Amino acid sequence: MTVRRVVPVLHAAGPAAGADFYAELLDMEVVMDLGWVVNYAARDDPARQILVMSDDATAAQRPDASVEVDDVDAAYATAQRLGCEIVHPLTNEPWGVRRFFVRAPGGAVVNVLSHR
């Protein structure tokens, strides 16, 4: 399994309200806006991203980081084998990702995903 990118998840009451801030200060643009989560990417390198989220509309927990892998099913099987706490089951989401949330040592919730 290969990690493709790691994206920090920032929490805010109104994720879209920061669009001017991220555009002007960090030269980032909105690449996905689902209302409850907005994905900003650097204009010169779309792999550099920040997610700003209020509450995850499809999961009971808010993740602290998002990690894209090439094989989410293999990552899920490994998490289960290691006895990790799965806080959101492996799910196909309507916006084109397959993901699960796992609790990392120290308590952080990590969204592990692959694009479908």
Sign of CA dihedral 104, 95, 27, 13: negative
Tokens 């980032």, located at residue: 28
Residue 52 CB neighbour total at 10 angstroms: 24
- Token pair of 102, please? 């796992």
CB 13 within 8 A of CB 55: no
pLDDT in tens, 80-109: 999 999 999 999 998 899 999 999 999 999
User: What does the pLDDT look like over 73-86, one tens digit per residue?
Assistant: 999 999 999 999 99
Domains and CATH numbers, the chain: 3-115 (3.10.180.10)
> Of 101, 19, 86, 93, whose CA–CA distance to 52 is shortest?
19
The pairing of beta strand 65-69 with beta strand 109-115? parallel
Distance set, CA 53 to CA 2, 62, 108 (Å): 25, 8, 15
pTM of the model: 0.83
Nearest to 113 by CA among 101, 98, 102: 98
pLDDT of residue 15: 82
- 49 in Cβ contact with 40 (< 8 Å): yes
